[in-house]
Structure 1
Amino acid sequence: MAERVFDRRDRLVLLLITVVELVVFLDTTVLNVALPAIGADLGLGEAGLGWVTNAYLLAFGGFMLLGGRAADLIGPRRVFTGGLVVFTAASALAGFADSAALLIAARALQGVGAAVLIPSQLALLTASFTAQAARNRAFGVWSAMGAAGAAIGTAVGGPLTDGFGWPSIFLVNVPVGLVALVGVRLLPPDSARPAEGLRRLDIPGAITGTTALLLIGYAIGALGASGTRAIAAGLLVLGLALLAAFVVVEARSPHPLMPLRLFTIRQVSGSAVVNALVGAAHVPTFALLALYLQNSQDYSPTRSGLAVLPVAVVNILASRTVIPYLMDRLGAARVLALGLGLQALAMGWFARLPEHADYGIDVLPGAILLGIGLPAAFVGVTVPAVTSVDTADAGIAAGIVNTAQRVGSGLGVTALLLLADLITARATTPPDTAYRTGLTAAFATAATLAALGALLTLTLLRTRSAASGSAANDTVSTPTRTAHVRKA
């Protein structure tokens, strides 16, 4: 007996938010296979090409707290609209860039737009879908789009570059952004007054917090290269000092960018810790799998990208079927633990990749497990945080949790790729065997991080009702909402 969860307007709102979510996360990986073409056209070496990628990722992670608080103070629909304008304009600028400096600047601007969009999306979902069944379905679809974005980006980047040239990987965002801007009027209106919100925006906190996250993000990425390790260590120390200063500023501010009281809410602080492990485990897995397929199995970049496409397909199918069902019956914490457990199994499966792989036996099962585990973890880790706070704090709660994943991703990629390199370099076996040994160790470490996340979920995020056996109430209770919401 199927219950009607969404009406036509609900479906349009969900389509608008989740398609933008897909494009934002697709842009984290879509240019990977286009980097050689970009380097040839714009005269960029490896270091410069690294900045084409990192400019987006650093700005994405660094500005997310500011984006989250702006959504709370100015209004999520206004901030979503502004972020969409910035992201779309930056995509057009990147597509028409005729110099390396312009492309890198455009990528950084894209990252700022993405950082503003994600927290406002979560605040809009929370306000738009108030009934539990509708909210579970909406967050399930949203999480699948984010989780699928990286896999889809890897898969479509090659064909776009081969067929239309590297500018197409950016220009494809423009029509999506323009159509989304037309649909913004469907979103619930804001109750916040923008002028008053701007006056309450914590500028000292924004400067210290954003600068700290940018420096820490850059330092984490640069620690993996011997040539930049010394300066990266210094910048890491400076970033941590600024982070400490940020905490002091926030403790004294009458209107803090990141209210420290939120960390006393177990669902917020626990979700942040677990989401850092989600990022540290799954993001390196895509990189490690691409390295194995291309360097050990002689896959082309396009074929390697298509090999992970089942992750995206299973993501979307699971989000429309099994994940909402599990959310209704098990609750967010158990779904999160299950998702991380499936990820651990997938990464453990990849840790046994042989010298000569059979795709259907050695790769596809792990991809299917990952395709179910990723959206389950994304929705399970998001719902507790944004539904345990008042609407006035939903944006910054989303910003905290998603910033934790960005930081965890950077740490995970740096640490696991460095681990693979060290083990490969020290192995006494033939080079091919040594290379797979390094990748195996990195996959096994990723599996351990995912399993640790599952354990912490059951420790930190299970509610009292869940512990007593009421799975339906395992999602956190939602406090009284003060902002305008539309009944789903």
Structure 2
Amino acid sequence: MATSSGRMDGRSLSVLFVLCGAIFLEGIDVAMLNVALPAIRTDLGLSTGALSGLVSAYVLGYGGFMLLGGRAADLLGRRRMFLTWLVVFLVFSGLGGVATEGWMLLTARFVTGVAAAFLAPAGLALVTAAFPDGPLRTRALGIYAGIAAGGYTLGLVAGGLLVTIGWRWVFFAPVILAAVLLLAALVLVKDDEEQRAPRTGRFDLAGALSITGAMLLLAYAVVRLEHGTAGLATTVLVGAGGLLLLGVFVAVERRAADPLVRLEILRNAALARTNLTALLFIGAFAGFQFLVTLYLQEIRGWSPLETGLAMLVVGLDTVLAPTLTPWLVGRFGNTRVLFAGLATAALSYLLFLPVAPDWTYAAMLPSFVLVGMAFALAYGPLTMASTAEVDEREHGLAGGLLYTAIQFGTALGISGVTAVSVVAGGAGRITLDGIRTALLLPIAAVLVAALVTAFSLRRRVSTPPNAPDAPEPQAVASA
């Protein structure tokens, strides 16, 4: 899918942008809903708990089924899983738009999360299968990661605009985009020869049930953290149940003739560092973004549209990630670029720490610009590293591991800063002191991520930077 010069031809670019469109759809869907929550509450008369449940339902579906989704892409065919679950995403997003009761929205969001859990790893595996290992794949993954990150930032603005028309358009707009992507994917996206070959062996049903149950319980325990000490016993029991099922899953996989997950992949140290870094980096960003939203809307009284426009500059990663990041990775190596991104994120959050009730937009702008640069430098290398030391046949599973880390990081980040900001604010209120105290959590998380990456740098200190045309595994394996 490349020209003789090693460049992408028209068809390969078309395939890439269809796959990018799907991951963009996922990001923009989440961001737009977050902006629309107050309007949904007003129209449907939902309680605060039900409103929080709309976010939690998606997290449960996404986090609970991600590993199963990743392995299903490898076993049952990446194209088949991609197309099937894109249809499910389309249908249930539309059902959310016509919902008249809270339970209908909750169901729609849960199933949409499940659909995303199958879509995301299948899409990433299709990208790595479509482009040969090396600079071409580096560029493709840079574009893919940049557009994925752009969905979360541009979704804030799009959500603000759509809510002014009506909150139901936050659900209908993804239906239109999903329909266009589906038509294009049916024509353009193909499985490679190995994926088209018939599969042998049995599907590991016991492994699928145990890992899905474990992920659902663990995701629910994470979501409950935002309630602080209220219902702590239940949170601990749910988490313990998730860990118990995780132990059952490991025992099942050790004895299974055709395991759902080859346990050796979990012993890959580079892969473990990559996923831990992704969890911490995305968790820090999610927590920071949530606190900024609270500050602008709850403290300053800005509208959702004003908030989205204020943070639009964060979307500069959509431009930088596909263009600058692949060049930097080729020049300096994946780990160095990732470390630079984490350091930039830490600086951004530190600059926002002295936030005041009368801050001008000019005072906030440096933090927002640096967040966009951090995403451009870190998200692409993390995506590249997630499949670097993994067999091509397990790229769906590797993608599932990455997106599981990202989703759990998002849930942990938001739950953590919510709990800290409420406790620090006193009397359950959101205050500026509470926001400042909670900002310490994203700062700490991203500094720990930087330390994890620095450990990789120290191990490779004697390795010279990669040349622009160096093979990709050497560039990304150490993240």
Match of 2:12 in 1: 10
User: How do 1:69-108 and structure 2 match up within 5 A?
Assistant: 69-108=71-110
Q: Are residues 1:450 and 2:446 paired?
A: yes
Shift, 1:474, TM fit: 8.9
Residue 457 of structure 1 aligns to which amino acid in structure 2? T
1: distance between equivalents of 2:41 and 2:445?
35
Give the whole-Å Cα distance in 2 for the aligned partners of 1:133 and 1:355.
47
Note the 1:152-171 alignment, pairs <5 A: 152-163=154-165, 165-171=166-172
Instruction: Note closer, same or farther for the CA distance 1:359–1:442 as it changes in structure 2 (3 Å cut).
Output: same
Kept in 1: contact 2:334–2:475 (CA 8 A): no
TM-fit CA distance, 1:364: 1.2
Aligned twin of 1:470: 465
Q: What residue in structure 1 maps to residue 150 of structure 2? A: 148
1:174 match: secondary structure? helix
State the AA in 2 paired with 1:201. Answer: F
Report the 3-state secondary structure (helix = DSSP H, G, I; strand = E; otherwise coil) of the residue aligned with 2:367.
helix
In the alignment, the residues of structure 1 paired with residue 314 and residue 458 of structure 2 have an alpha-carbon distance, to the nearest angstrom, of 28
- Give the residue type in structure 2 aligned to 1:292: Y
- What does residue range 222-237 of structure 1 map to in structure 2 within 5 Å? 222-225=224-227, 226-237=229-240
Q: Which residue identity is paired with 1:395?
A: G
Tell me which amino acid in the other structure corresponds to 1:388: E
1:243 equivalent in structure 2:
246
Which residue is 1:358 aligned to? 360
Q: In the TM superposition, what whole-angstrom CA distance separates every residue of 1:219-245 from its partner, at most 9, and x where no partner exists? A: 211122254433222211111211121
Query: Matches of 1:375 and 1:68 in 2, distance apart?
Result: 25
CA apart distance, 1:131: 4.8
Greater CA deviation, 436-445 or 125-134? 436-445
Distance 2:237 2:223 in 1: 13
Question: 1:333·1:462 contact (CA, 8 Å) conserved in 2?
Answer: no
Tell me the amino acid that sits aligned with residue 436 of structure 1: L
Paired residues in the alignment total 467
1:486 paired residue number: none
Q: Equivalents in 2 of 1:386, 1:183: separation in Å?
A: 26
| 1:92-119, Cα deviation, whole Å (9 max, x unpaired) | 1111222222221111111111111111
Q: Which amino acid aligns with 2:400?
A: G
| Residue 43 (structure 1) shift | 3.1
- Kept after mapping to 1: 8 A contact 2:221/2:235: yes
CA–CA distance in 2 between the matches of 1:106 and 1:7? 38
Unaligned 5+ segments in structure 2 are none
Tell me the CA shift for residue 462 of structure 1: 7.4
Instruction: Find 2:44's aligned residue among 31, 39, 42.
Output: 42
Structure 1 residues 186, 193: closer, same or farther in 2, change over 3 A? closer
Contact 1:56 1:110 in 2 (8 A): yes
Aligned partners of 1:384 and 1:475 also within 8 Å: no
Does structure 2 retain, via aligned residues, the 8 Å contact 1:145–1:316?
A: yes
CA distance in 2, matches of 1:88, 1:378: 26
The aligned runs of 1:62-461 (5 Å cut-off) are 62-163=64-165, 165-184=166-185, 185-190=187-192, 191-192=194-195, 196=199, 200-225=202-227, 226-312=229-315, 314-360=316-362, 362-425=363-426, 435-460=431-456
Per the alignment, do residues 463 and 93 of structure 1 end up closer, same or farther by CA in structure 2, a change over 3 Å counting? farther
State TM-score, norm by structure 2: 0.91
**Distance in 2 (alpha carbons) for counterparts of 1:243 and 1:194:** 32
Structure 1, residues 147-174: CA drift from partner, whole Å, max 9, x if none?
Answer: 22222222221220211x1111111112
Q: Deviations over 1:118-148 (max 9, x none)?
A: 1111111111111522212211111112222
Structure 1: 5+ residue runs without aligned partners? Answer: 480-488
Residues of 2 paired with 1:461 and 1:256: CA distance? Answer: 34
**What one-letter code is carried by the residue in structure 1 that aligns with 2:276?**
V
State the one-letter code of the partner of 1:14. Answer: L
Q: What amino acid maps onto 1:20 in structure 2?
A: A
Distance 1:162 1:102, change over 3 A: same
**CA distance change for structure 1 residues 217 and 131 in 2, over 3 Å: closer, same or farther?**
closer
Task: Determine helix, strand or coil for the equivalent of 2:190.
Answer: coil
For residues 308-339 of structure 1, the C-alpha deviation after alignment (integer angstroms, 9 at most, x for no partner) is 11111x11111232112112112222221111
Question: What SS is found at the alignment partner of 1:420?
Answer: helix
Q: Give the 3-state SS of the residue equivalent to 1:201 in structure 2.
A: coil
Shift of 1:5: 2.9
Name the SS for the 1:175 alignment partner.
Answer: helix
User: 1:54 maps to which residue?
Assistant: 56
The alpha carbon displacement at 1:88 in A equals: 0.9
**Cα distance, 1:200–1:387 mapped onto 2, change above 3 Å:** farther
CA shift, 1:200, in A, is 3.2
Does 59-68 or 292-301 show the bigger shift? 292-301
Which stretch shows the higher mean deviation, 346-355 or 452-461? 452-461
Deviation at 1:348, TM superposition (A): 0.9
Whole-angstrom CA distance in 2 between matches of 1:411 and 1:97: 28
Q: Is the 1:94–1:103 Cα contact (8 Å) retained in structure 2? A: yes
Single out whichever of 274-283 and 33-42 deviates more from structure 2.
Answer: 33-42
Partners in 1 of 2:458 and 2:94 — Cα distance?
Answer: 44
Q: Supply the AA of the counterpart residue of 2:297.
A: Q
Q: Distance in 2 between matches of 1:91 and 1:21?
A: 15
Give 1:444 deviation, angstroms: 2.8
* CA deviation after TM superposition for structure 1 residue 4, in Å: 7.0
**AA in 2 matched with 1:100:** G
Shift of 1:80: 0.9
